[in-house]
């Protein structure tokens, strides 16, 4: 308080001088901005389709490649955050919109990344001819598709579970929808959103090889980055380069964890809705450094006031609600609901008739049944893996989430493990399966869950970290331990977060089957039986009809399982297991 008062005094007297910490913080910020600006300039250099971009396996090139990859991920993260704020909030606030947006997200998260890639590359190259921006935007879009769905589902779940007392307080203060979003929804969802952002960042790493080493018009495009470096190392069977890539990934993840996510988690701790102060609070050396600055804290206060003006803008404030307005609104909602249902039914029936006629005319019934059988094989793998992952990571996630000090150490480790592209394990699996004559259909299966199991862990950690400390203390005082504690408090408290993590993990596992059921190392190639291998093989052959059939079957199966299994569990989490 004294230092803050002195800061205000120097401001009012016109003697606001930067201190030592201001200089250190400014130098750090300028270094990061300079590196990002240099990388952004490299993204707009001239480029012609067919031009070969040389990729070197020399470790001296890895820092530049790492910067290019991280910049793509950060840009994709910004767009993923915008998508989350717009569409997840819309789905949470409007029942009609939720009936469309959430199933679409369920489908989109299961669409193989190769499906997005084949469309994005051609489209962006046509949009930015003779420029590197075309392939770069395509890679960013593909990374976006690996980040956005998880964040949107997590934010949707937390906005839907805002406690009733917060909603009543918003009504008492006559907050508009705009003010509710920034004052209630975002702060309440901040903890879960940050953990899902970390998971989404790691998911981008998991698919970085596919996003930076792409094929279009029978020509290969290698964008400078760690993904293309890994792709070249796998193609040439260079084990030393693989280890260099792993080391570079570890260093990069630690750096952006310290500079971005750790400060955000320490800052977001103030948004926890608790009546009891927690014993251990997350810390960040970046936040501590900013607290010691003088000039930056002054500008921070100015930015806070500017943000308050942005939230409280007069044109978005609530207007007095009259009885006639309520009656008119209810009447309009009924009319809109009927019209919406009729339009939706016509569109769905037309689409089903068109697709059904096209598929049955172009593809024999035996081929469709074969694809369905392959899809059920992959579905069985996904089901078994999700059960095993839940048994392992739910207890671990609860243990970590209830201990903020432990979470500080687990967070970068989990990010690093979640970021491992499945391709990095190809040499281990290929050599082991061939040497010991193992069953390909069994031993390639773990590759499907390597990058997606962490959705369960990160969401469970987020759920456990927001469990009210007063309830935990009451359970301690009453001697509620072991299974009773888990059954009555912990499992109900984390259940909505677990369901969100499980849904995204299932969608990610379906997506990962593309790179998990067909693996290669040098001239050795192993193929498992499943829908992912089917799509991967026809993608390599350029058979778009069978690619569409495989992707369509995968989306259909995911949608059916979500409707029959996960959506009822989601409704149960919203209606019964809320801390209200």
- Per-domain boundaries in the chain: 1-42+281-312, 43-272+363-575, 321-362
Helix (H) or strand (E) holding 215: strand 213-216
DSSP structure class, residue 13: T
Residue 280 burial (CB count, 10 A): 11
* DSSP per residue, 344-367: HHHHHHHHHHHHHHHHHHHS-HHH
Report d(CA 234, CA 241) in Å as an integer. Answer: 9
Which tokens go with 198?
């970390």
Report d(CA 171, CA 180) in Å as an integer. Answer: 9
Report d(CA 165, CA 153) in Å as an integer. Answer: 23
Contact 282, 465 (CB under 8 A): no
First and final CA of the chain: distance in angstroms?
35
Which tokens go with 392?
């392992």
Which tokens go with 166?
């917060």
Q: Give the class (CATH, top level) of 43-272+363-575.
A: mainly alpha
Separation in Å, CA 521 to CA 208, 307, 474, 528: 18, 52, 56, 15
Three-state secondary structure call for residue 131: strand
Question: Which of the residues in the chain have pLDDT under 70?
Answer: 1-16, 48-51, 110-119, 214-220, 273-281, 314-338, 340-341, 344, 348, 351-352, 355-360, 422-423, 451, 522, 540, 542, 578-580
Report d(CA 87, CA 82) in Å as an integer. Answer: 8
Contacts of 251 (CB under 8 A, 6+ apart): 66
Question: Nearest CA to 570 among 478, 486, 513, 504?
Answer: 504
Separation in Å, CA 247 to CA 42, 62, 226, 254, 417: 24, 10, 11, 11, 12
Identify the pLDDT of residue 355. 66
Report d(CA 153, CA 174) in Å as an integer. Answer: 28
Separation in Å, CA 379 to CA 149, 376, 526, 529: 20, 5, 20, 12
Report d(CA 152, CA 514) in Å as an integer. Answer: 23
- What SS3 string covers 519-532? EEECCEEEECCCHH
Three-state secondary structure call for residue 230: helix
Three-state secondary structure call for residue 321: coil
DSSP structure class, residue 320: P
CA-based angle 533:536:538, to the nearest 5? 105
Report d(CA 508, CA 259) in Å as an integer. Answer: 27
Contacts of 71 (CB under 8 A, 6+ apart): 36, 39, 40, 43
Contact 222, 228 (CB under 8 A): yes
Report d(CA 410, CA 571) in Å as an integer. Answer: 31
Identify the pLDDT of residue 85. 95
Helices (H), ranges, 43-132: 62-83, 89-93, 95-110, 113-127
Three-state secondary structure call for residue 283: coil
Question: Nearest CA to 227 among 212, 247, 248?
Answer: 212
Question: Nearest CA to 203 among 566, 558, 512, 514?
Answer: 512
Identify the pLDDT of residue 7. 45
DSSP structure class, residue 214: E
Contact 400, 406 (CB under 8 A): yes
Q: What is the pLDDT of residues 322-341, one digit of tens each?
A: 556 556 666 666 666 667 66
Contact 264, 186 (CB under 8 A): no
Separation in Å, CA 125 to CA 8, 120, 217, 226: 53, 8, 12, 22
Please state the separation of Cα 123 from the chain's center in Å: 24
Contact 158, 186 (CB under 8 A): no
b (16+ CB within 10 A) / e for 233-248: bbeebbeebbebbbeb
């Amino acid at each position: 308080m004294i230092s803050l008062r002195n800061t205000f005094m120097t401001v009012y007297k016109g003697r606001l001088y930067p201190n030592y910490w201001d200089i250190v913080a400014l130098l750090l910020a300028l270094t990061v901005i300079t590196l990002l600006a240099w990388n952004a300039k490299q993204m707009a250099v001239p480029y012609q389709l067919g031009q070969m971009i040389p990729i070197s396996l020399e470790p001296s090139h890895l820092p530049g490649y790492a910067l290019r990859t991280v910049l793509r991920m950060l840009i994709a993260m910004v767009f993923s955050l915008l998508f989350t704020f717009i569409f997840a909030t819309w789905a949470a606030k409007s029942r009609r919109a939720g009936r469309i947006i959430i199933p679409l997200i369920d489908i989109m998260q299961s669409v193989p990344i190769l499906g997005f890639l084949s469309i994005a590359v051609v489209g962006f190259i046509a949009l930015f001819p003779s420029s590197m921006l075309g392939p770069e935007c395509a890679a960013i879009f593909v990374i976006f598709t690996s980040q956005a769905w998880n964040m949107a589902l997590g934010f949707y779940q937390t906005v839907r579970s805002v406690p009733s007392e917060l909603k009543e307080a918003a009504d008492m203060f006559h907050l508009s929808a705009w003010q509710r979003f920034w004052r209630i929804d975002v702060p309440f969802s901040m903890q879960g959103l940050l953990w899902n952002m970390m998971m989404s960042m790691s998911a981008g790493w998991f698919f970085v090889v596919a996003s930076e080493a792409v094929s279009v018009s029978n020509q290969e495009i290698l964008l400078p980055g760690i993904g293309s470096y890994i792709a070249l190392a796998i193609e040439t069977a260079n084990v030393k380069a693989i280890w260099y890539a792993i080391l570079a990934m570890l260093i990069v993840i630690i750096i952006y964890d310290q500079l971005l996510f750790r400060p955000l988690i320490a800052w977001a701790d103030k948004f926890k809705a608790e009546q009891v102060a927690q014993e251990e609070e997350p810390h960040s050396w970046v936040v501590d450094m900013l607290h010691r600055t003088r000039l930056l804290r002054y500008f921070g206060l100015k930015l806070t006031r500017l943000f308050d003006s942005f939230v409280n803008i007069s044109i978005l404030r609530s207007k007095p609600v009259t009885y006639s307005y309520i009656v008119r609104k209810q009447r309009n909602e009924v009319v809109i609901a009927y019209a919406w249902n009729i339009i939706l039914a016509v569109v769905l029936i037309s689409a089903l008739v068109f697709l059904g006629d096209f598929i049955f005319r172009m593809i024999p019934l035996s081929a469709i049944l074969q694809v369905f059988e392959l899809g059920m094989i992959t579905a069985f793998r996904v089901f078994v893996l999700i059960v095993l992952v839940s048994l392992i990571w739910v207890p671990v996630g609860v243990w970590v989430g209830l201990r903020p000090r432990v979470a500080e150490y687990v967070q970068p480790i989990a990010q690093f493990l979640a970021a491992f592209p499945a391709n990095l394990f190809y040499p281990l699996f290929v050599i082991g399966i061939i040497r010991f004559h193992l069953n390909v259909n069994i031993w390639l299966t773990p590759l499907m869950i390597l990058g997606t199991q962490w959705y369960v862990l990160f969401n469970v950690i987020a759920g456990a970290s927001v469990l009210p400390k007063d309830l935990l203390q009451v359970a301690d005082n009453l001697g509620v331990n072991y299974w009773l504690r888990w059954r009555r408090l912990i499992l109900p408290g984390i259940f909505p977060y677990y369901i969100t993590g499980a849904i995204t993990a299932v969608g990610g596992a379906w997506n990962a089957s593309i790179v998990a059921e067909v693996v290669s190392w040098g001239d050795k190639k192993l193929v498992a039986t499943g829908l992912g291998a089917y799509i991967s093989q026809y993608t390599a052959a350029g058979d778009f009809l069978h690619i569409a059939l495989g992707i369509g079957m995968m989306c259909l199966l995911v949608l059916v399982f979500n409707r029959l299994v996960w959506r009822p569990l989601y409704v149960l989490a919203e209606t019964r297991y809320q801390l209200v």
